[in-house]
A and B are shown apart, each in its own frame.
Chain A
C-alpha cells in the first residue's frame, strides 16, 4: 500500500500547551482516515501542520509524495483544504469565490470559470451561485468552502470538522457529498468530534487526545476493545433483582452488574440475539416484569470513554459510565 499522507512524531507546543505530542499518522491512497477527538485534542493543529500552515517543533510529514517542510509549495499544489471555519469571501458570489481559488491554483481564466460552474452544480449551489456568499446559510457556506478545496481536483483532501455547527439535515447532506468524493478515488483525512461521523465515513479511525493517538482501528475494531455486546434489563420491581440475576447468569459471559438505582442489570454476552431471546423467555417463565430490555452494542462513545476515562464532548455523547475507570485500567 502507498501512503498518501504519512506523519511521524509530530510535536507542536503553544507556550505551555502541548498541542501535538508525538503524533503518527498514515493514510493509504484512496482511503479515508478520521482523526477523532474532543475539543482541544490537537486535531486542527495536526491539520495545519499537514497543510503547511504551521511548522511543527519536530517530526516530519510527507503528503502526496512531497515533504511538507522541504517543499510546502509543492504540497499546496496537491492538496485541498477545508478548514474548521468556512473561509469564503462573504462579498464575493459563490462563482467568484471558486473562480478566484481556481486562478490561484494556476488555472487559466476560462478553465477556472468552467470548473467553478461545474462545482457549483455538483454542490447544489448553481442557483445561489450569483449571490454574494454572505446571503448563504451555514450549510451552503460550508459546501462552498468544500468546493473550494476541490477546485484543482487534488489527490489529497483534508477536511477539518466538516459538519460541526451544521443542522442535522445539512450534516446528512454533507456526508453524502463526502462519500461521493471519496468514491472518486481521493485520499481523505477528516477530523471530527462526532463518533457517528467517523463510523460512517472513515475506513480507519485514529482517536486522538492531548495531541497523541490513543487508539487506532476500524470502527469495529475499536468497538471490540470495549468488550462487545451487553444485555440490559430494567426491572419493574427492584425486589426481583435476585431472580433476574439468576436468569441472566445463564447467558452472561462475564460479571453481571447492578447499576445505581438497584433495578437495572447489565450482563456482557457472547451470543447477541440468541442471548437476548433466551433472556426474554427466561424472564417470562420466572414471571419477572420489566420496564425495558435490550441488546446494547457499544457505540464509539463508549470507546472514547473507555480509552480516555472521560466522555467525549460530542453532543451525541453517552452519559458517564460508572465502570469506565475499570475498563480504562484493563486497556492499559
Chain B
C-alpha cells in the first residue's frame, strides 16, 4: 500500500535533461513554433487560402462596380479610389475572426490542453496565433491591392508612404486579433465566434468613413464615425496612399487631423488591455 505516510520521502526536484530558454524571449521562440504550426495548416487546407484570397477580390469588385457609381465622395477623387482603403480596413479587421475561430477550434479539440501541459510560455500560443494571422492579412492585402490596381485604384503618394499605410492596417488588425483571441478563449465555439465577430465588426466598419464620406453622417452618428478608430485607420490609409484630393481639408476633429496617431493610440490601448487579459484567460482555460 502506498498511502501518503511519514515513512515515504519526497524526492528533490528531478533535474531536467535539457536546458530551456527563459524570460520574454521564450514567448517569442515558442510563439514562432506555434505560428509555424498554424501556417502549415494553410498548406494542408488550401481551401482556407482560396477563401482568404477570393473574398477580398470579391469585396473590391462588388463595391467598385455595384456602388462605385452610386456614391460621390464629392471631393474630386473617384469613388473607387476612395473606397479601396475602406475595403482594406474592413477586410483586415474581419481577418481577426480567424484568430478567435482558430483558438476556439484548438480549445474544442483539446490542443490547448496539450499546450498548457507543456513547459512553454503562457503567451506563446496567443503570440503564435496572432502572428500567423498577420500572414493571412498580408496575403489578402497583396491580393486586394492588385485587384484594386486593376479597377483603377492608384498609389499617388510615395511608395514608402504606401508601405506605411499597409503597415498601419496590419498593426491595427493585429490589435483586433487580440480582442478576438480573448473572445475565442471565453466562447470556445467556432460558430459562435463567427457570429460574434460579425456582430462586433460589421457596425465597427459600417459606422465609419470606410464606404461613405464622413460628411454624409449627422448628429450622434457623426460623432461615432469621427471617433471610430476604423475611420481614423481608413483616413490615415487614404492619406498615405494619396487617395484624398488636395483641395479637401481633413475634417476639423483631432482624430481626423491626426488619424495615424489616433489609430496607434487605439492599437496601444487595445494591446495593453487585451494581451494580459487573453494570457490570463489562456492560463485558466477550462478550469
Residues of A participating in the B interface, judged by any CB pair closer than 8 Å: 1-4, 6-8, 24-29, 31, 33, 48, 51-55, 62, 64-66, 73-74, 76-79, 81, 83, 85-92, 96, 100-101, 103-107, 111, 132, 148, 152-153, 155, 204, 216-217, 221
Of the candidates A1, A64, A73, A81, which one forms a contact with B14 in the assembled complex, judged by CB atoms under 8 Å apart?
Answer: A64
Q: How far is the CB of A187 from chain B (nearest CB, A)?
A: 10
Inter-chain contact A24/B40, CB cutoff 8 Å: no
- 13 CB contacts below 8 A, A to B, read A2-B10, A8-B4, A24-B3, A24-B4, A27-B2, A65-B11, A77-B119, A81-B114, A91-B40, A104-B33, A104-B34, A148-B114, A153-B17
Q: B70 contacts the other chain (Cβ, under 8 Å)?
A: no
In this assembly, does B9 line the interface, its C-beta being within 8 Å of a C-beta of chain A?
Answer: yes
* Contact for B12 among A24, A52, A65, A100, CB less than 8 A: A65
- CA A290 to CA B110, docked complex, whole Å: 55
Residues in A with CB closer than 8 Å to B17 are 152-153
Q: Are A66 and B13 interface neighbours, CB within 8 A?
A: yes
How many angstroms between the C-alpha atoms of A124 and B272 in the bound complex? 47
Q: How far is the CA of A52 from the CA of B117 in the complex (A)?
A: 7
Decide yes or no: A51 and B13 within 8 Å by CB, A26-B3, A104-B33, A132-B44 being known contacts: no
Please state if A104 and B118 are interface contacts (CB–CB under 8 Å): yes
CB within 8 Å for A78 and B13 given contacts A1-B8, A26-B2, A53-B286? yes
Nearest Cβ distance between residue B132 and chain A, in whole angstroms? 12
Assess whether B37 is in contact with A92, with CB atoms less than 8 Å apart.
yes
B11 x A85 contact (CB < 8 A): no
| Interfacial residues, chain B to chain A (CB-CB below 8 A) | 1-5, 7-14, 16-21, 30, 33-34, 36-37, 40-41, 44-45, 109-111, 113-120, 124, 284, 286-287
A106 interface neighbour in B5, B7, B21, B113, Cβ under 8 Å: B21
Report A134 CB to chain B, min CB distance, Å.
8
Q: A51-B117, A91-B44, A103-B30 are in contact. List 9 more A-B contacts (CB 8 A).
A: A55-B284, A89-B111, A91-B45, A104-B30, A104-B118, A104-B124, A105-B18, A155-B14, A216-B2
**Chain A residues whose CB sits within 8 angstroms of the CB of B33 once the complex forms:** 100, 103-104
B113: chain A residues within 8 A (beta carbon) = 53, 83, 87
Contacts of A100 in B (CB 8 A): 33-34, 36-37
Residues from chain A with Cβ under 8 Å of B9 in the complex: 1-3
Min CB–CB distance B283 → chain A (angstroms): 9
Contact B8 A28 (CB under 8 A): yes
Whether the Cβ atoms of A3 and B2 lie closer than 8 Å is: yes
- Name the one of B14, B20, B287 contacting A65, with C-beta atoms under 8 angstroms: B14
Give complex CA distance A263, B286 in Å: 54
Of chain A, the residue at the smallest CB distance from B120 is A104
Closest 5 CB pairs of A and B: A106-B20, A54-B287, A87-B110, A87-B114, A77-B119
Task: Give which listed residue, A2, A76, A96, A153, contacts B8 with CB less than 8 A.
Answer: A2
Identify A76's interface contact among B2, B117, B284, CB under 8 A.
B117
- Contacts A3-B8, A65-B10, A91-B45; A105 near B119 (Cβ below 8 A): yes
Taking a contact as CB atoms under 8 Å apart, the answer to whether A2 and B11 are in contact is yes
State the CA gap A83–B110 with chains docked (Å). 8
Find out whether the CB atom of B1 lies under 8 angstroms from the CB atom of A216. yes
**Given A33-B2, A83-B114, A89-B111: A76 in contact with B119 (beta carbons within 8 A):** yes
Return the contact of B118 from the options A33, A48, A101 (Cβ within 8 A): A101
Measured between beta carbons, the chain A residues less than 8 angstroms from B36 are 100
Chain A nearest CB from B285 CB (Å) reads: 8
Q: Bound state CA distance, A108 and B5, in angstroms? A: 41
Considering the complex, give the chain B residue whose CB is closest to the CB of A62: B10
A137 to chain B, nearest CB (A): 17
Q: Which residue on chain A has the smallest CB distance to residue B118?
A: A104
Give which listed residue, B4, B11, B19, B41, contacts A26 with CB less than 8 A.
Answer: B4
Which residue of chain B has its CB nearest to the CB of A1? Answer: B8
- Give the residues in chain B near A85, CB-CB below 8 Å: 110
Which residue on A lies nearest to B9, using beta carbons? A2
User: Across the interface, do A3 and B287 meet the contact criterion of CB distance under 8 Å?
Assistant: no
Closest to B109 in A: A87
* Across-interface contacts of A3 in B (CB, < 8 A): 2, 4, 8-11
B18 & A107 in contact (Cβ 8 Å cutoff): yes
Q: Given A87-B109, A104-B120, does the pair A4, B4 have CB atoms closer than 8 Å?
A: no
| Residue of B11, B40, B45 contacting most chain A CB atoms (<10 Å) | B11
- Whether the pair B37, A64 counts as a contact (CB closer than 8 A) is no
B40 CB contacts on chain A under 8 angstroms: 91-92, 96
Q: Which residue of A lies closest to B111 (CB)?
A: A87
Neighbouring A residues of B4 by C-beta, 8 Å: 3, 6-8, 24-26
Residues of A contacting B119 with CB < 8 Å? 73-74, 76-77, 104-106
A residues in contact with B286, CB < 8 Å: 48, 53-54
Inter-chain contacts of A28 with B (CB < 8 A): 2, 8
Q: Give bound CA distance, A83 to B116, whole Å.
A: 12
